[in-house]
Structure 1
Amino acid sequence: MTSVSTGATHADPLWHEIVDTLPLPAWVSDFDGRLLRVNPCWDKKISDRWQGSSWIDHLIEADRAETVAAWHAAAHRAPLTIPATLIGRDGPYRATLTLRPLTVTQAQGAWIGIALDAEAGLRAETDRAATQAELDTLTNAMPQMVWATRPDGHHDFYNAQWYRFTGVPAGSTDGEGWNGMFHPDDQERAWARWRHSLATGNDYEIEYRLRHHSGTYRWVLGRAVPVRDAEGAIVRWIGTCTDIDAAKRAAEQNEILSRELSHRIKNIFAVITGLLRMSARREPAMRDFADVLAARIAALGVAHDLARPHSERSRPSIGDATLHHVLAELLSPYDAGQWRIAGEDTPIDDRGATPVALVFHELATNAAKYGSLSVPDGRVTIEIGRTDDRLTIDWRETGGPPADRAPGTTGFGTRLAALSVEQQLGGTITRDWRAEGLAVRIEITGSALVRG
């Protein structure tokens, strides 16, 4: 049981409280070494028979002379740290002793002592070394380059893959030396992105060209995430660099092929249109049909150019292709005050663009000839609704010539629209001839407009 002798008044009671809370064997003694107080950990690990003894008495015989000499050399003024072995309850307690003098008055004073388990410290150090060895083995086995920094962004670790890839001497890219490994055109951009992550704590991700040991630059994907402590403070940054040069080159080659294919398709559209015009001049009776067919082909060309796969360089100025964009482009030849597109939007690519272009080109052409777009006060509204993957597209004409009954015959354009919706998009199309104008409802799935 922990207790205090009659001489305990020589030491500040505050130190008694501190000693009692320490998780290591600790004590307070007078200047001569006589124990005034020990903590519960001392009772548990060393001895509960300490009253009237000196802390020196609890050292093994072989360590006493050297420890006492070092203690006296401190002249009761300087802190002391010395390895020694105490006589513990379960055998020798190898420890590092830390003793600090406490002055109460000029004539009185005390010592506070703490015994750090040397074997526990050695085990902790061994565990840390083993953990570091495991980490080194793990990072060196990874195919990616791995790096780490301090919280301020100072680079202080790279795995073996970094040095194999770059061929630079170990340590030469520590600190800020890493930025010199980037292509000159990428350096400022990489620095700006890295500074932003350091300032905000946001994840770091960027593509840049890194100098290979061959002297060439290869594209890599750089990523880093912060490591936070229990309070949320960033204590490290861990990052990787992944060689994506082959994928980048393949994407660039695919982009070249895509542009060439698109160019050839547009040329085919132009050739077909030219043939139609030429044939119409030779066969005047076919001119109206040729004009209609040429307009349909032109609509397909517009839709194709909007919805084909694009890169950042080839993408149209309107941005990524969506149903709204395609419909707006198809209606752009008409007075902007006469038509409106509202409701949900959805992505579209070359799979869905062709049937959509055919359907709405037919509707717009007929509206311009016979419906609401044929008079100044007529209006067309396209309303798009969505429930899960199901799309409903409503075409409504108002303000045009009365159309309270369906035509007596079904034209080719009507059959073409039905074919496009039902067979190509797997949906349905219904027409309602109202007094105020034609209403058309198209029901399809959103996934029908894009490739899987």
Structure 2
Amino acid sequence: MSQMPKRGPVDHAREYWRTPLVLPPSNEFRSPCIEDENFRRLATFLPTLCWLARGDGYIIWYNQRWHDYCGTQPEQMEGWGWQSVHDPEQLAAVLTTWQRSIALGEPFEMVFPLRGADGRFRPFLTRIVPARNEAGEVVRWYGVNTEIGDQVRAEDALRQSESKFEVLTDAMPQMVWTARPDGAHDYFNAQWYAFTGVPVGQTDGAGWAEMFHPDDRALAQQKWRHSLDTGEPYEVEYRLRHHTGAFRWTLGCAQPVRDSEGKITRWIGTCTDIDASRRAAEQTELLGRELSHRIKNIFAVIGGIISITGRNSAELRPVMKELLDRIAALGRAHNFARPHSPESRPEDRAGTLHGLVSVLLEPYTDGQNNRVRVSGDEVPVDDRGATPLSLALHELATNSAKYGALSTEEGGVAVSILRQEPRVCLSWHEAGGPEIESTPGRIGFGTQLADIAIERQLGGTIKREWRREGLVVTIDVPVSHLWRG
């Protein structure tokens, strides 16, 4: 046997008030008055306004709650006296609808205001059903008036809120949309339709996904599904189809709206047209690569000139290799610290002091990761800070390879980075090399160059401790001098 579908209590109530009441045959009850009495007894205890009328609409009885609310007496309300507590501006519409129900014998349902004893009008939902005799004639009307002021005010507030939301979002220079907790899109502002050119409502539900470039659709949906599953904010760049048919780069973002218990009730998102800025960034990246290529060519030309000059000048030969190594270090620093795109970024730590030190000391590792160790905080660095730091670190590494810890197989260097706003401290510790018997009596050109780079160009300090177990160097500079950000 098939099971009947379940229906909610609201549906039952609506069905009841729309179904005419049929009184028992006259041979069981002498008159409809018995039914009237049953209604009166019930209505006495109901927390709403109740009344009954003859078949012609003439009202013959009200419960006490009617008179308590309206401040009236029974003789005032009998018949058609109820009109005195109605809003004059809406009375004509009420009479027309009520008279039509009487003529057709159909149930009546309408919302209109009633005046209370305090003189204030409040909205009421009125429902009336006819009672018929065995011949099918309407002999009674049973009515109830339920005060719905709170509901009306809530609906008005909701409509005003939605109206303000639409005015606000339509005035924004961005595409704005909302979605239900399950991710189904249910609203797009005017900017969305102006951008896409699609008919209103076409992208509701899951239809919005068809607006993506085919190559971007999977990523956008993957990130959206992740946000729905985790409640994390949504952010992704993708190409949307413009009303011209072209695809334009767009930044899509969304934030969850939560109730007092933390449950997501809605998602509010935006789509920002970033096509112009995206293409400008791509052009800038192209120019940056071209400029970097030319700078590297300049380093190569300078190196070539030095090599040729050194071969023809006996007095330059002893320093030629050191000079070429310094130029190579500057080249590595430039390539490391220049602005990069995700495609041109050389490694995971590009743009940080940690990464710069690792790149500069890479030639001295000899494949042994434990010989040169870099640890500490990640501090951003750009080309302004990378160049002088590279000169100083190159000199430290070169001297260590000649005379210090890196000159032996057992030796090593540990570099630690500590950020303590507004400064950053870089410590260089050598160990395992030849013992240091005394402080050097002469300061070489490389040492002077390192001091100039740190103190004059970066506004920092550089200190050296010639410990027996190895050299310790402390470089302290302002963070703001390493990175413009």
Common topology (TM > 0.5): yes
Kept after mapping to 2: 8 A contact 1:58/1:86: no
Residue equivalent to 2:83 = 60
Question: Structure 1, residues 6-31: CA drift from partner, whole Å, max 9, x if none?
Answer: 9999549xx95xx55xxxxx146799
* CA distance in 2: counterparts of 1:66 and 1:416, whole angstroms: 99
> Aligned partners of 2:128, 2:444: CA distance in 1, in Å?
104
Classify 1:53/1:324 alpha carbon distance in 2 versus 1 (closer, same or farther; 3 Å). same
CA distance in 2, matches of 1:213, 1:342: 52
1:95 partner letter: F
Match of 1:330 in 2: 360
Q: Shift of the alpha carbon at 1:131?
A: 4.7
- Which of residues 318, 330, 349 in structure 2 aligns to 1:288? 318
Corresponding residue number in structure 2 for 1:440: 473
What is the deviation of 1:430? 1.5
Q: Quick one: which of 47, 57, 81 aligns to 2:109?
A: 81
Q: How does 1:193-272 map to 2 (within 5 A)?
A: 193-272=223-302
Question: Would the aligned equivalents of 1:96 and 1:118 in 2 still touch at CA under 8 Å?
Answer: no
| Equivalent of residue 95 in structure 1, options 109, 124, 134 | 124
Name 2:24's counterpart in structure 1: none
User: How does 1:342-381 map onto structure 2 within 5 Å?
Assistant: 342-381=375-414
TM-score scaled by structure 2? 0.75
Q: Deviations over 1:64-106 (max 9, x none)?
A: 998699699999xxx96345775642277663314699xxxxx
Give, in whole Å, the separation in 2 of the partners of 1:228 and 1:340: 47
Structure 2 partner of 1:106: none
Q: 1:316 aligns with which of 326, 333, 346?
A: 346
The code of the aligned residue for 1:60 comes to Q
Inter-partner Cα distance in structure 2 for 1:119 and 1:367: 83
Quote the Cα distance in structure 1 between the aligned partners of 2:243 and 2:193.
9
Deviation larger for 352-361 or 63-72: 63-72
1:410-440 Cα distance to aligned partner (Å, 9 max, x none): 1110110000000111001122222222222
1:92-131 counterparts in 2 under 5 A? 95-98=124-127, 113-116=144-147, 121=152, 131=161
The match for 1:307 is 337
Q: Give the Cα–Cα distance (whole angstroms) in 2 for the partners of residues 253 and 147 of structure 1.
A: 31
Q: Answer whether contact 1:95 1:119 (CA < 8 A) is retained.
A: no
1:115/1:58 Cα in 2 relative to 1: closer, same or farther (>3 Å)? farther
TM-score by length of 1: 0.80
Cα distance in 1 for residues equivalent to 2:123 and 2:427 = 86
After the TM superposition, which residues 155-170 of structure 1 pair with which residues of structure 2 at under 5 Å, given as runs? Answer: 155-170=185-200
Q: Are 1:147 and 2:180 counterparts?
A: no
Q: What CA deviation, in whole Å up to 9, does each residue of 1:376-418 have, x standing for no partner?
A: 2223222322322222222222232232422222111011000
Quote the Cα distance in structure 2 between the aligned partners of 1:64 and 1:223. 54
1:274 aligns to what SS in structure 2?
Answer: helix
Deviation string for 1:163-206 (max 9, x for gaps)?
Answer: 22222233332332222221111112122222223333332222
1:408 aligns with 2:436: no
2:134 corresponds to: none
Q: Secondary structure at the match of 1:413?
A: helix
Alignment partner of 2:363: what SS?
coil
Q: Aligned partner of 2:479: which letter?
A: G
Between the aligned residues of both structures, percent identity stands at 46
Equivalent residue, structure 2, for 1:23: none
**How far apart, CA to CA, are the structure 1 residues paired with 2:421 and 2:194?**
50
**What pairs with 1:26-45 in structure 2 (closer than 5 Å)?**
26-27=48-49, 38=65, 45=69
CA contact (8 A) 1:372 1:380 kept: yes
Q: Distance in 2 between matches of 1:444 and 1:84?
A: 77
Q: 1:70 to 1:92 in 2, by over 3 A?
A: farther
- 2:316 counterpart SS class: helix
**1:222 Cα shift?**
1.6
Of the structure 1 ranges 352-361 and 428-437, higher mean CA displacement relative to structure 2 is found in 428-437
Q: Specify every segment of 5 or more residues in structure 1 that has no aligned partner in the other structure, as ranges.
A: 1-5, 21-25, 102-110
Once the two structures are superposed, the pairs formed by residues 170-209 of structure 1 within 5 Å of their partners are: 170-209=200-239
For residue 268 of structure 1, report the CA deviation from its aligned partner.
1.3
Structure 2 spans left out of the alignment, 5+ residues? 1-36, 55-59, 85-90, 131-141
The number of residues matched between the two structures is 422
CA spacing shift, 1:34–1:446, aligned 2, 3 Å: same
